[in-house]
């Protein structure tokens, strides 16, 4: 991320790809910069207030220009290492959060709301968003949270490795032979019934068994019996399958 510290120009311009802005009461946290900056400056200190870079939101572009606050440019110039800058930033963040908690504990509803607003403002995705300015640490995209989805699986996996835990693979339940027996048995009633029906339809027409006049209506009775048999068999098989499914669930 390329930063520039030129008066009147933004330090950097960001979008909402890596982080998404937090909101309260239908308004973005960063849109309350003036209130938050004044709260920290008057009650914690100008160095702590300088953590909150001044945002200029452009909704049309979907981007935010971040500026160095004018007041913070009057602070002394600092030459801090990356570690020192990070430590100083967290010291100021801790002070800001303590003050926010004091406001939240206040009986005044307005102070409570400001405390919650300030607490959300001091949230940011990760340490990469803490930058070093010529006058001390500052936070890019404060009042934002990471767009990366939180994965409990990854956290659990990491803890498992730290504790030397073995990974257990959960396999699906074994296929019971009873399922195969039921599936195979389902075909036989239909095949048997079909063969019987075919036999009953052919035999009466066989020469010499039954006269041709009687055979015209003989096939109606076995056909009715066939469909009744199918209905009974289907009901029995359905009950068996339902019973087996219930046993598996238990």
Cα separation, 210 vs 236, whole angstroms: 35
Kindly state the DSSP code that residue 52 receives in the 8-state scheme: B
Spatial contact of 144 and 21, defined as CB atoms under 8 Å apart: yes
Q: Are residues 21 and 142 in the same domain?
A: yes
Cα separation, 134 vs 68, whole angstroms: 10
Structure confidence at residue 224 (pLDDT): 66
Q: Which of 148, 163, 187 is the last residue of a domain?
A: 148
pTM, two decimals, is 0.57
Q: Are residues 194 and 126 in the same domain?
A: no
Residues 6+ apart with CB under 8 A from 45: 92, 95
Distances 174 to 102, 177, 178, 179, 210 between C-alpha atoms, Å? 59, 9, 11, 11, 55
Helix, strand or coil for residue 131? strand
Q: What would the pLDDT profile of 231-242 be if each residue is shown by its tens digit? A: 777 777 777 666
Report residue 196 as tokens.
């019987």
Q: Are residues 112 and 185 in the same domain?
A: no
Range of the domain at 237: 177-249
Distances 10 to 5, 6, 13, 220 between C-alpha atoms, Å? 8, 8, 7, 92
Is the four-CA dihedral 36, 42, 43, 44 of positive or negative sign?
Answer: positive
Q: Are residues 132 and 218 in the same domain?
A: no
Q: Are residues 87 and 200 in the same domain?
A: no
Cα separation, 11 vs 4, whole angstroms: 5
Which residue shows structure tokens 């010291």?
91
Percent of the chain with pLDDT over 90: 43
Smallest CA-to-CA distance from 183 within 237, 247, 229 is with: 237
Q: What would the pLDDT profile of 62-74 be if each residue is shown by its tens digit? A: 899 999 998 888 8
Q: Are residues 207 and 126 in the same domain?
A: no
Report residue 76 as tokens.
């002394």
Q: Are residues 128 and 223 in the same domain?
A: no
Smallest CA-to-CA distance from 56 within 64, 45, 68 is with: 64
Q: What confidence tier does 8 reach under pLDDT thresholds 50, 70, 90?
A: confident
- Domain count of the chain? 2
Q: What would the pLDDT profile of 210-250 be if each residue is shown by its tens digit? A: 554 555 555 566 666 766 777 777 777 777 666 655 544 44
Taking residue 93's Cβ as centre, other Cβ atoms within 10 Å add up to: 19
Structure confidence at residue 232 (pLDDT): 75
Kindly state whether residue 169 falls inside one of the protein's structural domains: no
Q: Are residues 143 and 187 in the same domain?
A: no
Q: Are residues 70 and 188 in the same domain?
A: no
Q: Are residues 19 and 79 in the same domain?
A: yes
Smallest CA-to-CA distance from 37 within 29, 46, 28 is with: 46
More confident residue, 232 or 90: 90
Taking residue 215's Cβ as centre, other Cβ atoms within 10 Å add up to: 15
Burial per residue of 184-194, b for 16 or more beta-carbon CB atoms within 10 angstroms, e otherwise: eeeeebeeebe
- The values of phi and psi at residue 25, to 5°, are 55, 40
């Amino acid at each position: 991320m390329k930063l520039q510290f030129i008066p009147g120009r933004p330090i950097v311009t960001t979008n909402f790809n890596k982080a998404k802005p937090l909101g309260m009461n239908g308004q973005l946290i960063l849109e309350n910069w003036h209130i938050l900056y004044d709260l920290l400056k008057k009650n914690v200190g100008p160095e702590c207030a300088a953590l909150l870079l001044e945002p200029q939101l452009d909704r049309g572009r979907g981007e935010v220009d971040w500026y160095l606050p004018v007041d913070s440019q009057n602070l002394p110039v600092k030459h801090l290492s990356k570690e020192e800058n990070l430590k100083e930033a967290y010291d100021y963040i801790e002070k800001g959060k303590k003050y926010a908690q004091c406001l939240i504990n206040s009986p005044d509803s307005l102070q409570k709301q400001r405390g919650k607003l300030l607490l959300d403002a001091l949230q940011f995705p990760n340490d990469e968003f803490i930058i070093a300015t010529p006058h001390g640490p500052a936070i890019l995209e404060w009042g934002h949270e990471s767009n990366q989805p939180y994965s409990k699986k990854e956290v659990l996996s990491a803890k498992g490795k730290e504790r030397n835990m073995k990974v257990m693979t959960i396999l699906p339940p074994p296929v019971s032979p009873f399922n195969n027996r039921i599936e195979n048995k389902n075909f036989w009633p239909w095949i048997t019934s079909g063969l019987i029906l075919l036999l009953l339809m052919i035999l009466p027409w066989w020469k010499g068994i039954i006269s041709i006049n009687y055979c015209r209506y003989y096939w109606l009775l076995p056909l009715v019996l066939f469909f009744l048999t199918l209905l009974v068999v289907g009901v029995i098989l359905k009950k068996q399958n339902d019973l087996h499914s219930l046993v598996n669930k238990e």
